[in-house]
Structure 1
Amino acid sequence: MIRTPIIAFLGHVNSGKTTLQDFIRKTAIVKSEAGEITQSIGASLVPDVIIKNLCGDLLNQLKIDLKIPGLLMIDTPGHAAFVSLRKRGGTLADLAVLVVDINEGLMPQTLEAIEILKRFKTPFLIAANKLDTLNGWKPGENLLQNIPKQEKSVQDKLDTLLYSLVTKLAELELNADRYDRVDDYTKALAIVPCSAKTGEGIPELLVMAAGLSQRFLGKKLEYSEDAPAKGTILEVKKERGLGMTLDTIIYDGVLSKEDELVIGGIDEPIVTKVKALFEPKKLLELSNSTKFQQVDQVVAATGVKIAALGIENVSAGMPLLAVKKNLEETKALVQKEIAEMAIELDITGVIAKADTLGSLEALVKLLKEHGIKVKKAAIGEITRKDVSDAVTNIQTDPLSAAVIGFNVNAPSITTIGVQIITGDVIYTLIDRLQEWQKKEKTKLESSAVKKITKPCKLMLLKGYIFRQSNPAIVGTEILMGTLQTGAELMKDGTVVTIVKEIQEEKENVTEARKGKQVAVAYEKIIIGRQLNEGDTLYSFITDKDYRKLKELKQYLTDDEKEALREIAAIMRKQNPLWGV
């Protein structure tokens, strides 16, 4: 038998994703004499009779013989919900509709949605919504017949917006075109211009979703009535009079009352039994005081509310499997599925937290794709323990002293050196983390440079010997670089003295830069013996510090770099491999 394809709607905030689904639901209710749309748990089932009623002429024009039982539209309020809808081998959705505001094009959340769809290898089509907002657009029933009836300026505007969208998608290595211009749907994305306000393009969108599902999903939609139910937990809810319940999408098989269930757990599988199954009443009856009606059985693909015992610790995104024969075998299958979702951790790295297993998996995968290591990954709110774990990175790996939370809250505590970043768009989290790491790296490197003796070239001025020894005080000109107090100075590669003090205009300073003439106190020398007026000295730099300065050369001035080159040339006369 062929099951109902599962269709997920994704899109940027305000792209009209919800309005689009609402229009489909509303239209189906109006056309209810031909059948009824079912509002299942977390999804809306649009039966084949509704699709035929809404799209009959289009189905005939495109020669599509509708065989699927309908379309199950999953309500995904955000991408977090989408990545939570996992099953073994990828995402729960068979097909996705990416809703784009035709005027705005690809927005940040749209780009994130595309990356998620590509990662999970989910086929998708694009709904270019808000067609009605084009200045001068005149609504009509049939989209392709209506476009040529528009003023030329309106047609040109539509083509320009679609071309812009196609170009942006091409930059993401995705071929796309208006749906009626696509020759091969296996090689190009179909873009359907539409309006959630007037309904234009929505029949075309439904036909494309149904046609693509039927044509390309093939055996993926086949199921046996005897097969044990397979599902994914959408949400764990407490319902008055029912206790804890599981809002679940059943994507394969049949689930019945009294069936034994194995549900994935963080530590081990949870075994329970179905006490009751609930579906919402038909949309026309939603005004009734009782929202749900009890059923004895549900068939894939559908959404259902499950009442069962011992499910308090179940997390959204976990797999569910009905036991038909062997409990231990079923537990092993669920464990295997969890193991396949297992997240590989690093010895050092950031702390990652998310609200569901699917979200956590997506977050960690993206972090690693950006070269960011992850030391700990867990489901749930950010805790003080997570912050403490991040604190341990401050000394060993300060750029990893961060906690990243996707769709979770954080405690209101501030720990110096630890960055806590939370949000509901994964890409924004990554951007914010990288921005913090960049700033932190600059601070650390700048601090590291300050701890290293800076390159310097100086000359002892003739006629400015203020004291010959203990310490010698001599007028000095800085020829290149920066002279610092405490710096060792060399002549011909040999350390001859240490800078005790620097005075500029009778004021003590800690450093003097190129061009300055200052009085310098030199330790352990006598002028006329070890050093003489007119001598040129350089700061002594170890080969280890030289290599470090080469790494951090962006923090050196041009004259400091030049002084460093001269120092290297002097040192390599004695050791050709110095600083290499």
Structure 2
Amino acid sequence: MAGKARVHELAKELGVESKTVLAKLKEMGEFVKSASSTVEAPVARRLRNAFVASAGAPAPAAPSAPASTPASNPTPTPTPTPGAPRVSARPMPPRRPAAPAPGPKPKGPVPGAPQTATPVAKPASAHDIEVAAAEARAAALKAEQEAAVKAAQAARQQQRDNPVRREPPADGGNRPGPRPGPAAMPPRPGSPAARPSTPAPGPGARPGGRPPARGAGNNPFGIQGGQQQRPPAAGAGGSRPNSPAGMPPRPSPNSMPPRPSPASMPSQRPAAGRPGPGGAGRPGGGAGRPGGGGGGFRGGPGGGAGGGGGGYRGGPGGGAGAGGGGGYRGGPGGGAGAPGGGFRPGGPAGGGGRPGAGGRGRGGGAAGAFGRPGGRPTRGRKSKKQRRQEFDNLSAPTMSSGAPRGQGQIVRLSRGASLSDFADKINANPGSLVQEMFNLGEMVTATQSCSDDTLHLLGEHLGFDIQIVSPEDEDRELLAQFNIDLDAEVAEERLVSRAPVVTVMGHVDHGKTKLLDAIRKANVVAGEAGGITQHIGAYQVHVPHEGEDRAVTFIDTPGHEAFTAMRARGAQVTDIVILVVAADDGVMPQTIEALNHAKAADVPIVVAVNKVDKPDANPDKVRQQLTEYGLVAEEYGGETMFVNVAAKPGIGIEELLEAVLLTADASLELTAPIDGPAQGVAIEAHLDKGRGAVATVLVQKGTLRAGDSIVAGGAHGRVRAMLDENGNQLSEAGPARPVMVLGLTAPPGAGDTFLAAADDRTVRQIAEQRQARRRAASFANSRGRATLETLMEQLKEGEKTSLNLILKGDVSGSVEALEDALFNLDIPEEVQLKVLDRGVGAITESNVMLASASSEPVTIIGFNVRASNKVREMADREGVEIRYYTVIYQAIEEIEAALKGLLKPEYEEAELGSAEIRDVFRSSKIGNISGCIVRSGIIRRNAKARLLRDGAVVADNLTITSLKRFKDDATEVREGFECGLTLGGYNNVQVGDVIETFEMREKVRS
């Protein structure tokens, strides 16, 4: 069949249906679409063999490709090829040069070949070889091998029925030498085909000619009328045909590559034949595994059930397999399969088979047995299934960053450190750490501040023990770089006594500030908005005690719940705590909190029971309540001093001060060095319009003098002036002395430590490094871990409604307390609060510009600060809202209400009424009209409705589009009246259905 065969043609040839052929092709792994699809030649051959094997019949052989495998009969003379005259064999000297042959090379015995008296051994049949090879092969190939043997037998039978006569050479000169007989296959290990009694073939001359191709169309190198003659080579038994025109000259033996050694050849292969006398070709080895023919260095005839023989210079092939012989310069192929080809196809194709491919060398050849084109080597084609399987078997690539491994080494990093800082600690390349983080699923740059979790994750992966340095240790290490030691021991001769620092704590409105006012004999409450202390105040008073003028430093802390952090800082810098409890209210929540702060600071407590002058005062109840928290009065056998006081009439003030001094003398040893650089803590700070940043500091060690260079937190500067609580100028301040300091670059935070240094350069460097570390830590905490898993969470946050604020206050402590209180509000997840900026001082133009530049509305909150006229005009022009507050809880309540106002409204269903359908009227214009009677409530036009039938909802989300009373339009119909209505084109209504109407009302949020 010329060209590609179609499925239906193959089905007709095989006598089966097309769907059977399609199913068989699918079993063979070939995916064919329909019966009209074409099938490649090798696939068609496999299909035929598969059907023959399944049916137990021999495969149909192509009539143009008779097999050339030696017959299995015991006749020593080979069967003559059809189409050539029979020539009698005559003896001839083995080394006599052969005369040029005018015709093609004969397949049978060549005339002139010497005849030996010993009979030629019977060659092994193809069937025996097939059986021997099938035992060593897999079971999957057995069916195809048996089919190939049967095809070869059928071809030999056809060859016997149509003998071909051979013609003698045209001239009477030198006759071609005898062609060696069929070579016996060397015994294979474990093969039953091994015949010990079979003698090896005797030496003979090289064959003098080659048989012509069966058809010109099957040999691309042949020409009609036979091939041209070639002068006989020296030592050759006969002539060989010339190479086709345009082919390069045949390589000489000297230019050939060295003969491969037996060690380099594949195991269990039959060895090539020895050279015969008179320059005869070395006979090819016996047939090998099915599909591969024999052949030697200069190949003799091949054999076996597979492809034909062939070698370095291939001789004639044979066998019943698919491929013909072929070698380096291919000899003729044979058999029922495709003709062979060599590396350089020099010889003609074998008789019969389909055009076969030459070796993968220079020059083209006929199409191969598997349909691949000859010529230049190409990459093998793979099926889609094979490519998919190879892709699935691919393993993920692994990237090695080259980062060192720690083996448990401890690495100390500051909070918010970057990968570059980590790389400096372990002497690694920052890029390698970035790659390691990417392999772990984290997207981090080399200079980005990393959170603690990210650093711990990377350290655990690399084998390092990451220890995050606390802010206190970090600050201590920073100061150590400048040879400053805050914890250095001081000699006793340098220590002097100092005043006790007393902090007043208690619940809101229990009279703390009034008590301090009574002690100071100054009205400090009048300046506080709403009578609530907004920030910490530090004062020093002088009290006569035992004939001495003793100084006592008082620190007033807010009692509102928002000032928890400020109370905690006040407890950390104090020596004694005065716990103020109102005699009428008793112990309150902030009272317990202040008590816990004092216990955590491990400072002695003096309880002042205030407001004892009120009629409903019960001091004994206060003593009993505090007993539950571990404060037992002295009259009850405890160690805590309780003093009954009344701030307004001034009752018990002297007893309270005496109790404070007695506690300080009995329980504390209050000393501090008076010389050396000053150290202390910032109590509060604010921005003054005329004086700049003003900080209230408490000196704890040394002496602070005007003109000293100090650093407080991230602020630094030179002390331009010092003021006491009354506004008087001071030249120096010793330990336990609170003063107001002017000259800092910015207001420090409440609770920041300050120290004096030798020069401005040192304090500036310390302040800059503190700012950088705080900024890095803040960025790391706000950013968190940027992982692939948090992408959806970030997208969801983008859909939330947010309230953006800018906080400005008079002192840093108040701003911090307001921010903490706002973030502690209980708000739904649909809204979020963002603080874009915070600061101390008046509202400035930069705050308004930041608010106007934001993509969302921003509100500026001013706490005890105002904006100038110019700033207010700019805010009005830009549409920025500014709110002012003087009491912190008022700001918290209004902001909480604003957050709830940002929530999307929630709606609930409110039932209006129901109507029963009493009749249905048909209208060609508007559809069905329901005649109803209102059973309850009202029926309103354009209201939402649902249709009920037998108590089940038939249709929902309907709309009453028209409503009429008789012929008049109506907006609503009340209970007990009849009406006609339509449901917006919905016509599936029946008599007895109930129509319920409702509306969606906004739900009030609690």
Bigger relative CO (Cα 8 Å, ≥ 6 apart): 1
Q: Does 1:202 align with 2:640?
A: no
- Asked whether the 8 Å contact 2:512–2:556 carries over to 1, the reply is no
Q: Which residue of 1 aligns with 2:515?
A: 20
The answer to whether the 8 A contact 1:250-1:299 is kept is no
Greater C-alpha radius of gyration:
2
1:449 counterpart SS class: strand
Q: CA offset at residue 194 of structure 1?
A: 0.8
1:322 aligns with 2:772: no
Residue from 351, 356, 363 that aligns with 2:805:
351
| Alpha-carbon distance, 1:116 to partner | 7.2
Q: Identify if the C-alpha distance between structure 1 residues 234 and 80 changes in structure 2 by more than 3 Å, giving closer, same or farther.
A: farther
TM-superposition CA deviations, 1:114-163 (whole Å, max 9, x none): 757867967665433343x346xxxxxxxxxxxxxxxxxxxxx65x3652
Change (3 A) 1:553 1:245: closer
Opposite residue 532 of structure 1, the aligned amino acid is Q
Aligned partners of 1:129 and 1:196 also within 8 Å: yes
Structure 2 equivalent of residue 521 of structure 1: 982
Change in Cα spacing, 1:479 to 1:16, as seen in structure 2 (3 Å) is closer
Q: CA distance change for structure 1 residues 336 and 3 in 2, over 3 Å: closer, same or farther?
A: farther
Name the CA distance, whole Å, in 2 between partners of 1:389 and 1:508. 53
Aligned to 1:378: 838
Tell me the distance in 2 between the aligned counterparts of 1:224 and 1:321.
14
- After superposition, give the CA deviation of every residue in 1:70-111 in whole Å (9 maximum; x if it has no partner): 5211366987998896998976555543545545668xxx86
Q: Which of 609, 614, 619 in structure 2 is aligned with 1:128?
A: 609
Q: What is the match of residue 192 of structure 1?
A: 643
1:236-255 equivalences under 5 Å are 246-254=694-702, 255=704
- Separation (CA, whole Å) in 1 of partners of 2:977 and 2:551: 83
Q: Deviations over 1:407-455 (max 9, x none)?
A: 344769899x9997654443443344445555x37x953xx417xx767
Give the Cα separation in 2 of the matches to 1:9 and 1:227.
29
* Residue deviations 1:514-540 (CA, integer Å, cap 9, x gap): 9886543222244xxx22221235689
Counterpart of 2:540, as a letter, is L
Shift in CA distance, 70/460, structure 1 to aligned 2, threshold 3 Å: same
Instruction: Give the C-alpha shift of residue 3 in structure 1.
Output: 4.7
- 1:303 aligned to which of 725, 738, 743: 738
| Alpha-carbon distance in 1 for matches of 2:592, 2:652 | 22
Equivalent residue number for residue 258 of structure 1: 707
| Equivalent residue letter for 1:361 | E
Change (3 A) 1:405 1:279: closer
The residue number in structure 2 matching 1:32 is none
| 2:838 partner letter | A
Question: 1:197 and 1:298, CA in 2 relative to 1: closer, same or farther beyond 3 A?
Answer: same
Q: Residue 679 of structure 2 contacts residue 756 of structure 2 at CA under 8 Å; is this kept in 1? A: yes
Q: Say which structure is richer in strand.
A: 1
Which residue number corresponds to residue 429 of structure 1?
891
Change over 3 Å in CA distance of 1:521–1:313 after alignment to 2: same
Q: What CA distance in whole angstroms lies between the structure 2 residues aligned with 1:388 and 1:116?
A: 42
Q: Which of the residues 431, 434, 449 maps onto 2:907?
A: 449
What is the one-letter code of the residue matched to 2:864?
N
Q: Which amino acid aligns with 1:375?
A: K
Q: Determine the C-alpha separation between the residues in 1 that align with 2:668 and 2:815.
A: 28
Q: What is the 5 A alignment of 1:155-554?
A: 158=617, 160=618, 162-163=620-621, 180-181=635-636, 183=638, 185=640, 191-196=642-647, 199-210=650-661, 225-226=675-676, 228-232=678-682, 234-235=684-685, 246-254=694-702, 255-264=704-713, 269-279=714-724, 292-295=728-731, 297-308=732-743, 311=744, 313-314=746-747, 317=750, 319=752, 320-324=754-758, 326-327=762-763, 330-331=766-767, 334-335=770-771, 348-349=802-803, 351=805, 353=807, 354-372=809-827, 373-376=832-835, 377-379=837-839, 380-381=841-842, 384=848, 392=856, 405-409=862-866, 422-435=884-897, 437=899, 440=901, 444-445=904-905, 448-449=906-907, 458-463=914-919, 465=921, 470-474=926-930, 475=932, 477=934, 485=942, 487=944, 489=946, 495=955, 498-502=959-963, 508-509=970-971, 519-526=980-987, 530-536=988-994
- Residues 88 and 337 of structure 1 are in contact (CA less than 8 Å); yes or no, is this contact kept in structure 2? no
- Give the gaps of 5 or more residues in structure 1: 28-40, 56-68, 136-156, 281-285, 394-400, 556-580
Conserved? CA contact 2:946–2:953, under 8 Å: no
Q: State the alpha-carbon separation in 2 of the partners of residues 504 and 52 from structure 1.
A: 101
Q: CA deviation at 1:490?
A: 5.3
Partners of 1:117 and 1:419 in 2: how far apart?
A: 41
Q: For 2:863 and 2:842, locate their aligned partners in 1 and report how far apart those are by CA, in whole Å.
A: 9
Distance 1:488 1:22, change over 3 A: closer
**Cα distance in 2, alignment partners of residues 333 and 215 from structure 1:** 43
Aligned residues: 450
The corresponding residue for 2:501 is: 6
Instruction: Say if 1:301 and 1:426 are closer, same or farther in 2 by CA, change over 3 A.
Output: same
CA distance in 1 between counterparts of 2:772 and 2:974 reads 66
Q: How does 1:109-128 map to 2 (within 5 A)?
A: 125-128=606-609
Distance in 1, matches of 2:919 and 2:538, equals 91
Match of 1:398 in 2: none
Match of 2:552 in 1: 71
Going from structure 1 to structure 2, the CA distance change for 1:249 and 1:477 (only over 3 Å counts) comes to: same
State whether residues 555 and 570 of structure 2, in contact with CA within 8 Å, keep that contact through their aligned partners in structure 1.
no
Deviation at 1:378, TM superposition (A): 0.7
Q: CA deviation at 1:270?
A: 3.8
Instruction: Tell me: CA distance 1:363–1:237, structure 2 relative to 1, closer, same or farther (3 Å).
Output: closer
Shift of 1:299: 1.9
Counterparts of 2:508 and 2:776, CA distance in 1: 32
Which moved further from structure 2: 71-80 or 225-234? 71-80
Structure 2 CA distance, aligned partners of 1:456 and 1:300?
78
SS of alignment partner, residue 360 of structure 1 = helix
Q: Deviations over 1:266-303 (max 9, x none)?
A: xxx443223454557xxxxx8xxxx63542x3222212
Shift of 1:359: 1.9
- Contact 1:457/1:538 (CA < 8 Å) preserved in 2? yes
Note if contact 2:862-2:885 (Cα within 8 Å) is conserved in structure 1.
Answer: yes
- Percent identity reads 22
CA 495–224 in structure 1, closer or farther in 2 if over 3 Å, else same: farther
Q: Closer, same or farther in 2 for the Cα pair 1:277/1:458, shift >3 Å?
A: closer
What TM-score, normalized by structure 2, do the two folds share? 0.36
Contact 1:85/1:232 (8 A) holds in 2: no
Write the distance in 2 (CA, Å) between the matches of 1:116 and 1:367.
21
For 1:314, the aligned partner's letter is P
The alpha-carbon deviation at position 250 of structure 1 amounts to 2.3
Partner of 1:50: 544
TM superposition shift of 1:307: 4.6
CA drift of 1:370 comes to 2.9
**Paired residue for 2:211?**
none
In 1, distance between residues paired with 2:893 and 2:782?
Answer: 21
* Counterpart-to-counterpart distance in 2, 1:24 and 1:211: 17
Sort the Cα spacing of 1:195 and 1:378 in 2 relative to 1 into closer, same or farther, 3 A: same
| CA distance in 1 between partners of 2:506 and 2:622 (Å) | 18
Contact 1:232 1:248 (C-alpha < 8 Å) held by counterparts? yes
- Letter in structure 1 aligned against 2:680: K
TM-score normalized by structure 1?
0.57
